[in-house]
């Protein structure tokens, strides 16, 4: 076992997940490739969404990949940071909106 | 900032650069040989298809010192083409039907014989490109009329603008370069450049300001057009997305920032046989400031002349013999074959 849970070199080995389950890996990577092609959204917009999600799920591999990916697709620094703020706002909002649930419960159990 | 040559940096030495590209990495990683990749795909030896562009480097003198410059150009570089060597270029053009002449540098406009050379090429009726760094137009009053001079000679202007924001442009090209570039673009637009129906072509060159590859050229062009129009009212024709090749200052940058291995790995992994089949050296011939012949401007900066069996100087120019030569390749060539390919005209694979 590695001494750390994350190794940057492992990002480049992502494709090796096929070693233990080739069929599902092939389906996943085909799907993955299709998702990031230009469609109703541009490749740049998709890279920025991926960057935001990477921060929300706190995946260091994804942050590494989609920081570079966003730069390659032509995103500027302000766009990248705004995308992360969107992720932060949704994460923060998701916590806070549960405050209503807490309030409902308080009102239920309090006199 | 001084050139690598003025700093006596080892990266100013072509042999040192080639050795860096050749040698295994400290942890033992060895990148595959570019020539072997060509061989694997039936492209070895690489041969010219037809020579349609004569790219003439008028010298290493430049008013800018860009961090990625493969020429190691700058104000402290004094190597520039003489009028006699330009005359040899004209003689070569006169006895061949090479349709396009591409003038580069340094800042080619700083060569004192630049305007005479452009006028003489114009008389020969060839399509003429000038790689203008934009800021030269504002560098000195004697250059302020360059847009009009270009218009008179129907020059296709090809200008570097690595990004549509000041911070990223200035990081690569120097403080204040973005603002000056915007002013120069407006001056070019004012005489008709970049407008669809003017017949005066203004193309921009995008190359990444860091250790990453360019994205899709068409998508980047759309974004550049939108941002330059909205922000500054600037129009242009085409965007050429160019990959930074790992030589000279960019190689120095990659090594000093720890980006060399991942960048080379990215280039090697992105090798595209279709891009390899379309590399610019198959239809371009590069001329050095002293009249020597090279397969491309990058080989020129690495002191890799055309193969010994071919004529190696303008004095001995023979189009037929040059058309039969084997093109000289090395590890830096992975930069032209990654992804959608890269050339002085941008992507090479549609």
* Residue ranges of E strands in chain A: none
Q: Is B41 on the interface with A (CB under 8 A)?
A: no
Within a domain: residue A26?
A: no
User: Alpha-carbon distance B62 to B122, whole Å?
Assistant: 24
Mutation to test the A interface, candidates B223, B338, B347, most A Cβ within 10 Å:
B223
pLDDT, mean of residues B303-318: 98
Per-residue pLDDT band at A3 (split at 50, 70, 90): confident
Reported as a single tens digit per residue, the pLDDT across B167-177 is 999 999 999 99
List, edge to edge, every strand of the sheet that includes B238-241: B238-241, B202-206, B156-160, B127-132, B100-104, B53-57, B284-287, B293-294
Per-residue pLDDT band at B117 (split at 50, 70, 90): very high
Q: Is B162 on the interface with A (CB under 8 A)?
A: no
Please answer yes or no on whether B168 and A76 come within 8 Å at the CB atom: yes
Rounded to 5 degrees, what are φ and ψ at B3?
-70, 160
pLDDT at B333 over 90: yes
Q: Is B215 on the interface with A (CB under 8 A)?
A: yes
Q: Is B210 on the interface with A (CB under 8 A)?
A: yes
Q: Are B195 and B229 in contact (CB under 8 A)?
A: no
Q: Are B241 and B215 in contact (CB under 8 A)?
A: yes
Containing structural domain, residue A92: 36-109
Chain B neighbors of A38, CB-CB under 8 A: 216, 219
pLDDT at A1: 61
Helix (H, G, I), strand (E, B), or coil: what is residue B28? Answer: coil
> B224: closest CA among B242, B241, B210?
B241
The CATH number of whichever domain residue B132 belongs to comes to 3.20.20.70
Reported as a single tens digit per residue, the pLDDT across B153-165 is 999 999 999 999 9
Within a domain: residue B17?
A: no
Within a domain: residue B28?
A: no
pLDDT at A2: 67
Full-model pTM: 0.93
Chain A neighbors of B168, CB-CB under 8 A: 76-77
Residues with Cβ within 8 Å of B324's Cβ and at least 6 positions away in sequence, in order, are B47, B48, B310
Q: Is B212 on the interface with A (CB under 8 A)?
A: yes
Within a domain: residue A1?
A: no
User: Alpha-carbon distance B28 to B261, whole Å?
Assistant: 11
Of A43, A68, A76, the CB nearest to B216: A43
Q: Which CA distances in Å does A10 have to A47, A66, B257, B268?
A: 20, 15, 21, 18
Chain B neighbors of A44, CB-CB under 8 A: 215, 219, 223
Reported as a single tens digit per residue, the pLDDT across B262-310 is 999 999 999 999 999 999 999 999 999 999 999 999 999 999 999 999 9
Please answer yes or no on whether B210 and A71 come within 8 Å at the CB atom: yes
Within a domain: residue A20?
A: no
Residues with Cβ within 8 Å of B15's Cβ and at least 6 positions away in sequence, in order, are B303
Q: Are B148 and B191 in contact (CB under 8 A)?
A: yes
Q: Are B209 and B199 in contact (CB under 8 A)?
A: no
Stated as kind and residue range, the H or E segment containing A59 is none
Share of chain A above pLDDT 70, in %: 98
If one compares A28 and B197, the residue with the highest pLDDT of the two is: A28
Evaluate the omega torsion of the peptide bond into residue B48 and state whether it is cis, within 30 degrees of 0: no
User: Alpha-carbon distance A2 to A39, whole Å?
Assistant: 40
Of B165, B214, B224, the CB nearest to A72: B214
Within a domain: residue B52?
A: yes
pLDDT at B1 over 90: no
Please answer yes or no on whether A72 and B219 come within 8 Å at the CB atom: no
Q: Which CA distances in Å does B30 have to A65, B15, B264?
A: 23, 19, 10
Helix (H, G, I), strand (E, B), or coil: what is residue A55? Answer: helix
Reported as a single tens digit per residue, the pLDDT across A39-54 is 999 999 999 999 999 9
pLDDT at A74: 95
Domain count of the fold of chain B: 1
Residue positions counted in chain A = 111
Containing structural domain, residue B323: 34-335
ipTM of the complex: 0.80
Within a domain: residue A24?
A: no
Rounded to 5 degrees, what are φ and ψ at B192?
115, -10
Rounded to 5°, angle at Cα B341 from B340 and B344: 130
Mean pLDDT of chain B: 97
The CATH number of whichever domain residue A66 belongs to comes to 1.20.1290.10
Nearest CA in chain A to B243: A72
Per-residue pLDDT band at B27 (split at 50, 70, 90): confident
Chain A neighbors of B214, CB-CB under 8 A: 72
pLDDT at B29: 85
pLDDT, mean of residues B319-328: 97
Within a domain: residue A13?
A: no
* Residue B212 Cα, gap to closest chain A Cα (Å): 6
* Residue B161 Cα, gap to closest chain A Cα (Å): 13
Mutation to test the A interface, candidates B262, B268, B269, most A Cβ within 10 Å:
B262
User: Alpha-carbon distance A39 to A45, whole Å?
Assistant: 10
pLDDT at A41: 97
Please answer yes or no on whether A42 and B210 come within 8 Å at the CB atom: no
* Residue B221 Cα, gap to closest chain A Cα (Å): 10
- What DSSP state is assigned to residue B349? -
Reported as a single tens digit per residue, the pLDDT across B66-100 is 999 999 999 999 999 999 999 999 999 999 999 99
Residues with Cβ within 8 Å of B40's Cβ and at least 6 positions away in sequence, in order, are none
User: Alpha-carbon distance B143 to B317, whole Å?
Assistant: 33
Least confident of A1-15, B205-219, B226-240, B311-325: A1-15
pLDDT at B147: 98
Nearest CA in chain A to B162: A74
Please answer yes or no on whether A74 and B220 come within 8 Å at the CB atom: yes
List, in sequence order, the alpha helices (H) in chain B. Answer: 14-22, 34-40, 83-94, 114-123, 136-139, 146-152, 166-173, 177-190, 217-232, 248-256, 260-269, 273-277, 297-301, 319-323
User: How many beta carbons lie within 10 A of that of residue B342, not counting itself?
Assistant: 28
Within a domain: residue A43?
A: yes
Q: Are B344 and B245 in contact (CB under 8 A)?
A: no
Within a domain: residue B292?
A: yes
Domain count of the fold of chain A: 1
Within a domain: residue A8?
A: no
Nearest CA in chain B to A45: B219
């Amino acid at each position: 076992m590695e001494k750390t849970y994350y190794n940057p070199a492992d990002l480049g080995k992502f494709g090796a997940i096929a070693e233990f389950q080739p069929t599902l890996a092939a389906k996943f990577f085909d799907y993955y490739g299709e998702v990031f092609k230009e469609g109703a959204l541009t490749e740049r917009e998709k890279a920025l969404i991926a960057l935001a999600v990477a921060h929300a799920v706190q995946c260091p591999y994804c942050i590494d990949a989609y920081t570079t990916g966003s730069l390659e697709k032509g995103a500027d620094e302000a766009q990248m940071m705004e995308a992360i703020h969107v992720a932060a706002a949704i994460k923060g909002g998701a916590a806070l909106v549960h405050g209503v649930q807490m309030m409902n419960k308080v009102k239920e159990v309090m006199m | 900032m001084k050139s690598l040559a003025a700093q006596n940096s080892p990266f100013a030495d072509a042999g040192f650069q080639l050795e860096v590209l050749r040698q295994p990495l400290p942890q033992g990683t060895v990148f595959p040989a570019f020539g072997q990749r060509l061989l694997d795909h039936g492209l070895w030896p690489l041969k010219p298809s037809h020579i349609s562009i004569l790219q003439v480097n008028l010298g290493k003198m430049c008013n800018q010192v860009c961090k990625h410059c493969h020429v190691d150009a700058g104000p402290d570089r004094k190597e520039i083409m003489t009028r006699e060597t330009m005359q040899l270029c004209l003689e070569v053009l006169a006895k061949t039907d090479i349709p396009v002449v591409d003038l580069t540098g340094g800042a080619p406009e700083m060569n004192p014989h630049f305007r005479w050379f452009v006028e003489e090429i114009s008389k020969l009726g060839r399509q003429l490109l000038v790689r203008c760094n934009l800021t030269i137009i504002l560098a000195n009053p004697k250059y302020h009329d360059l847009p009009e001079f270009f218009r008179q000679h129907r020059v296709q202007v090809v200008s570097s603008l690595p990004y549509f924001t000041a911070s990223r442009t200035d990081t690569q090209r120097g403080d204040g370069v973005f603002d000056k570039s915007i002013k120069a673009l407006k001056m070019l637009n004012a005489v008709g450049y970049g407008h669809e129906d003017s017949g005066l072509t203004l193309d921009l060159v995008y190359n990444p300001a860091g250790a990453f590859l360019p994205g899709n050229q068409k998508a980047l062009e759309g974004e550049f057009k939108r941002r330059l129009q909205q922000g500054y009212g600037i129009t242009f024709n085409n965007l050429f997305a160019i990959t930074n090749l790992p030589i000279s200052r960019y190689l120095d940058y990659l090594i000093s920032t720890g980006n060399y291995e991942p960048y080379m790995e990215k280039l090697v992994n992105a090798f595209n046989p279709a891009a390899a089949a379309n590399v610019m050296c198959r239809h371009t011939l590069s001329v050095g400031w002293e009249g020597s012949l090279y397969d491309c401007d990058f080989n020129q900066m690495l002191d890799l002349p055309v193969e010994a069996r071919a004529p190696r100087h303008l004095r001995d120019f023979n189009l037929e013999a040059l058309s039969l030569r084997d093109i000289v390749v090395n590890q830096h060539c992975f930069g032209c074959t990654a992804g959608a390919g890269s050339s002085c005209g941008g992507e090479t694979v549609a």
